[in-house]
Each structure stands twice: as structure tokens, then as C-alpha cells.
Structure 1
Amino acid sequence: MTNIADLEIFSRVVSAGSLSGAGRELGLSPAVVSKRLRKLEDRLGTRLLQRTTRQVALTEAGQGFYERVVAIIAGIEEAEAFVTRRSTQPRGTLKISAPTSFARMHIAPHLGAFMRENPDLSINLVLSDDFVDIVGDGFDLAIRIAELSDSSLVARRLAPVERVLVAAPSYLSERGLPQSIEDLERHICLPQHNNEPWRLEGPHGSIVYRAEGPLQTNSSEVLREAVIAGLGLALRSTWDVGAEIASGRLVRVMPEFAASKSVAIHAVYPSRRFLPAKVRLFIDYLANLYGPVPYWETVPASAVSAPTVGDAVPPEPKPNGRAGPPAGTRP
């Protein structure tokens, strides 16, 4: 039977990305780590890692083996936590991946309270707007804002996502208030940072509208600042601009139209029978913090409907070409 310690060494090598990195974490020399890995591969009769002096890479067999080893180690940790009553006092490091803007606004401000409740737990929060390889990159969990497809990962829905059309009062004072989808052709509509079209649900069903404004960016935060500055209309999530709507810095326009609600905020983690206490506690903490009606949705009713900003009919485009190119609709 394979030595459990050899499995932990193999797992640490993969997560650390090198023999020396794993050795430092385990208090072993690189030579000892290399010897134990060779012993494990000889016992299994297959190569698990391609090794160089600087880095390691999983083979195809190694990838499948690693996924199962992670589950085994997690189960052992959970069993030990149960026996020693550590389930109420999680220890170690919790490695989390989260989207940049959301983490800055709705995770980072609440970490202090969580860590004070769990003083023996350290947090490694990695910000990325890409979908990381949770298993391959050694994450305990990831926060994802998406419509999730089927996968081998487990997902828990933390909160709904409401996406609405907004603009700054200064923009509306100059351009007027749009009343219909057709009116958008006479407005500056800022494309989403990923260039996806606006998928809206309205009184008469679904609408797909391709915004073609003058600003192109791959940064959601740049787009957020642009709409606040009065550059045009944008489709934004209320978790991102709820405070600005409440304060009046942004106004919700055409409130009868909103994005499809198939997107939600999820906690995603490797499929395991035994979920480590540190992961379970953090997911429960976020779920209780956000709730079925997240705090960023509790804004005054007056902030959700557009105020009067002059003539309700949008003006014709000015000859200086500030309006973006005409954009069409399709069902």
C-alpha cells in the first residue's frame, strides 16, 4: 500500500510547482523529495511528473492521480478534524481565487471579521478575472460570477446577480432619457468589457442588443469609471454600482429592461466527499453575508427609477459624432 506521506509529498510538489518549493514547505531537502517521488512512481509503475531542475509538470496519468490524491488528503484532514474537534477551529491556509472587482468590493472588506473569528486560519486571496484551474493550481475554492456549465466541480450559489442599464445624470441631462430599445440608437452605448452583447429581458420578451460605443476596453473597472464619468450608457451589475445608484451618481434607465438572471455568484470547489472545515466555514460565511437579497440590492426605491432630466425624448445625435455608430436589435 502506498505511504500516505508519499501522497502528501506528491501533492505538495504539484501545488508548489517545484521539488525545492515542496521541500521548504515540508522541511525536506530536494534530494529527499525526489527520492520519495521516484519510489512512488516505481510502486505505481508509471511516471507522474515530468521534472526539470526548475519546475515540474503533470503527466496525463499524474493529473488523474493528483485529483484523486487531493480528495484522499482532504478526507484524511476532515477525519482528523472530527476526531480532534478541529472542525470549529480550522487551521492552515485557505487559498481562494476571485474576480478582481468583486473581491475588492465584496470580499476584502469582510475578511477581517472572518479571520478574527478563525485566528488559526490564513487567507491567500488571488485575484483573477480568468477561470483558474482549481485543482491544478492548488486552490481550495473559487468565486465565479457566471452561468456555470456542467463540470466535475461542485458549485454553491451564493447570491443572485441583477444587471441593469445605468447612466450618469450629467450624461442624461445632455442626451435625454431613452424610453425604448429603439431610442438606444441615438445614445452612446458602452460595450461590455468582454464585448458580449447586451442580453435583456423586457416586457415583450428577450432582446439581444449589440452596443457599439466609442470606448473599447478589456477592463470592467475602466468601463465602470467611464459610465460614472458620463461617457454613456452601460449594462452593469448592481453589486458593482449599487452604491452609485443609491447615492445618485448613477441613474437606472429603462428599468423595465434588465439582463437575464441566469448568471449568479457561486463558490466552486473540487468535488470531494469530505469538504475541509476551512472551506465549508468560508462558503457559509459568504452565503450568510450576502443572503437571498444581497445588501447591495437594498437601495432606496427612488434610486431605482430615473429622475426627470429635461426632455423625456432623447435628442437627435449631434453633428460632432459623439453618439456611437447605430446599433441594431435582434430577438
Structure 2
Amino acid sequence: MNSIYGNIDDLYLFFCVVEEGSLQKASIKLHQPVSTMSRRLSLLEQRLGFRLLEKRGRELVATESGHIAFSSVKSVMEHLEYAFDDIQTQTQLVSGTLRLALPNNFYRTFVAEVVEQFIETYPLVNIELMLSRDLLTPASDRDLTMTFDLTGMEDMVARPLFSSLHQFYTSQSYLDRYGPIETLQELASADWVLTDSTDVITVYRGEQVVDVMQIKPKLVINDINAVARAVEKGIGVTSLPVHKLAKQLDLVPIMANHNRGARQAYLVYRARKYQPKALALFIEALITAAKTIAEEAPLIDGAS
């Protein structure tokens, strides 16, 4: 489309220079030589009859008229960008490499099945898994992590995945040996088996905090399944997500009106603007799987 403004590309070029903050950055984004862009901008200004950009130091910045012009075309250009990006997302082949970082227990609980099904459905997609307790921040638009802690990820997209309520459990053999646990004092003084060496546990009744217990862990294992099985053997007490794991093992709920609170799990990834189609589909597959399992019972969350 040609007019007094020239080719619509010239307006987009001007838009990118202002948006990126410099001619050099815009040239990198558009893959065009700086000299070519400078010449086209000069011709655009000649056709309009006023200056859009001016030199300030080494950079080109918008003049007062340029700011007015930028505000006028900004919404139009952004609409075009999003429209064509959506078209490209809908029509591109589902391919590429996805990098996923998550705790071991997440993978065993439901992610493994999602990954296997996804690779079968989309054979051009490769998935790289990092199973770890360390919190990893997505570094590229193909990275995805699962976490309960969003600290330092304020500029990321965080999609709620599931919420998990923790209650207290032990074994009948432990109760037979040491007696019933019916008070918070008895619970605090019990032998604790945990996935970390914390010495403080916050206790809730419903959503209200009723105590902050000082405890001393007897056994610490950084795997929730190993913790559950150690408790089943009569070593002590623990807190577990309300999940079929507790039903499958020979565990006894204690202090039934109390709990350790609920934790919200999130899927975290970089901004959606240029999100690969494979990542978008994989995220939706994980969310769908989490919802399906949650209908049966709250998910195990990898912490105790």
C-alpha cells in the first residue's frame, strides 16, 4: 500500500525505531542495514513535511511531532503484530525443543504421562527434562518450570496449576509404641520425618493459623515418596498432601481438624508475545492433566 506516507513498511520502520529506542536496535530486529533505514526515514519525513526523529547524542529520538505520530500508529501496528503472530502460531508446524525444569515428584505424579503422550502426538517436538529441587528461572521462550515460589519471577507469566493441602500422618505402629497424638504439644514433640531440615511448622485450623511449632526432624530425605514410606515403617510423623499416596500406604491421619496449609503450584514461562506453538500446547496439556487428576484427589506437590 503506497500513499503520501510511502510504503506501510516505512511507518513500521519508524514505529520500531521509537519502540526499540535506537536505530541500531531497530535494525537488528528488522534485519536491515542502518544506512538503508536512515535513508527511508529521511524520505518519509520529506513526504510528510515535518521531522519525526532528531539526533540526541548518538541516537535518534522522536521529535514532538514524532511522538504524536507514534501514539497515532502504535495501536494499529501492535494490532497487526498480534494478528499475524496469531496466524503464524495457528499455521506453523508443532516442532522444536522444549526445556522443562521441575521436581522429581512432579514428574512421577502426572507429568511423565503428559510428556510421553505429547511426544507421540507431536513427533517433531523434542523435550529436555531437568529433574531437580533447585528453582530454575526460564531463560528463553522455550523454557518452562513448575514452582511454588515466584520470588524473582515477577516479569514472567505464572499460570496456576494446582493447589495442594497438607495434613498430618503417622503409622499405627508408631501410635502403638508412643501413644495417641491428640494435642499440638504432642504433635510438636513427635519424631518428624521431612523432605527438608526445617525446625518450624505452621499449623492451621481451616485457613486460620493456630500455632507455629518448634520441631526437631529425626529423619530428612529429599524425596516425598521415601518420606511417606519411612513413616509407614513406624519411624515418626510427617505432613503429606491429601492424595491417594496416603491412601495407598498404611498411614493414619492425625489431628484431623488441623493442617499445614495449602500451597499453590504454578507453571512459569516467558511472556507470550512470541511463544512457540509447541510450548503453548504443552502448557495446556499440563493444565488439563492437573485438572483431571484434581477431580479425583488433590495433587501431591513435592514438599512436606
TM-score by length of structure 2 reads 0.63
2:247 aligned with 1:246, yes or no? yes
Shift in CA distance, 158/150, structure 1 to aligned 2, threshold 3 Å: same
Match for 1:155: what amino acid? A
Question: What is the RMSD of the two structures over their aligned residues, measured on CA atoms?
Answer: 3.3
Determine the C-alpha separation between the residues in 1 that align with 2:116 and 2:104. Answer: 18
Secondary structure (helix, strand or coil) at the match of 2:187 reads: helix
Determine the C-alpha separation between the residues in 1 that align with 2:152 and 2:292. Answer: 22
Shift of 1:127: 0.8
TM-score by length of structure 1 reads 0.58
From 225, 231, 235, the counterpart of 1:227: 231
2:203 aligned with 1:200, yes or no? yes
Show the counterpart of 2:265.
Answer: 265
Shift of 1:85: 4.1
Where do 5+ consecutive residues of structure 1 fail to align? 7-44, 46-75, 300-331
Which string of whole-angstrom CA distances, capped at 9 and with x for unpartnered residues, describes residues 82-113 of structure 1? 348435x5111111111112212221133222
| Residues 197 and 208, structure 1, Cα contact 8 Å, conserved in 2 | yes
Show the counterpart of 1:190.
Answer: 193
Shift in CA distance, 226/121, structure 1 to aligned 2, threshold 3 Å: same
From 163, 170, 186, the counterpart of 1:160: 163
Show the counterpart of 1:283.
Answer: 283
Greater per-residue strand proportion: 2
| Residues 190 and 212, structure 1, Cα contact 8 Å, conserved in 2 | no
| Residues 141 and 269, structure 1, Cα contact 8 Å, conserved in 2 | yes
Show the counterpart of 1:82.
Answer: 87
Shift in CA distance, 177/280, structure 1 to aligned 2, threshold 3 Å: farther
Which string of whole-angstrom CA distances, capped at 9 and with x for unpartnered residues, describes residues 28-51 of structure 1? xxxxxxxxxxxxxxxxx9xxxxxx
Secondary structure (helix, strand or coil) at the match of 1:214 reads: strand
Match for 1:90: what amino acid? V
Q: Identity percentage over the alignment? A: 20
Determine the C-alpha separation between the residues in 2 that align with 1:189 and 1:210. Answer: 11
Larger radius of gyration: 2
Determine the C-alpha separation between the residues in 2 that align with 1:292 and 1:150. Answer: 27
Residues 1-331 of structure 1 mapped to structure 2, 5 A cutoff: 1-2=27-28, 82-83=87-88, 85-86=90-91, 89-135=93-139, 140-146=143-149, 151-195=154-198, 197-202=200-205, 205-238=209-242, 242-261=243-262, 263-291=263-291, 294-295=294-295, 297=297
Paired positions, count: 225
Shift of 1:186: 4.8
Where do 5+ consecutive residues of structure 2 fail to align? 1-26, 33-57, 59-80, 300-304
Shift of 1:251: 2.1
Match for 1:2: what amino acid? I
Secondary structure (helix, strand or coil) at the match of 1:129 reads: coil
Determine the C-alpha separation between the residues in 2 that align with 1:148 and 1:255. Answer: 32
Instruction: Report the more deviating stretch, 212-221 or 281-290.
Output: 212-221
Determine the C-alpha separation between the residues in 2 that align with 1:216 and 1:84. Answer: 46
Shift of 1:167: 1.3
Determine the C-alpha separation between the residues in 2 that align with 1:214 and 1:293. Answer: 32
Shift in CA distance, 175/149, structure 1 to aligned 2, threshold 3 Å: farther
Determine the C-alpha separation between the residues in 2 that align with 1:287 and 1:237. Answer: 19
Which string of whole-angstrom CA distances, capped at 9 and with x for unpartnered residues, describes residues 37-89 of structure 1? xxxxxxxx9xxxxxxxxxxxxxxxxxxxxxxxxxxxxxx9x9577348435x5
Which string of whole-angstrom CA distances, capped at 9 and with x for unpartnered residues, describes residues 279-309 of structure 1? 211111111111187156279xxxxxxxxxx
Determine the C-alpha separation between the residues in 1 that align with 2:181 and 2:279. Answer: 46
Determine the C-alpha separation between the residues in 1 that align with 2:114 and 2:219. Answer: 33
Determine the C-alpha separation between the residues in 2 that align with 1:225 and 1:161. Answer: 20
| Residues 164 and 298, structure 2, Cα contact 8 Å, conserved in 1 | no
Match for 1:100: what amino acid? N
Deviation above 6 Å: which 4+ runs of structure 1? Answer: 3-6
Determine the C-alpha separation between the residues in 1 that align with 2:132 and 2:179. Answer: 37
Secondary structure (helix, strand or coil) at the match of 1:208 reads: strand
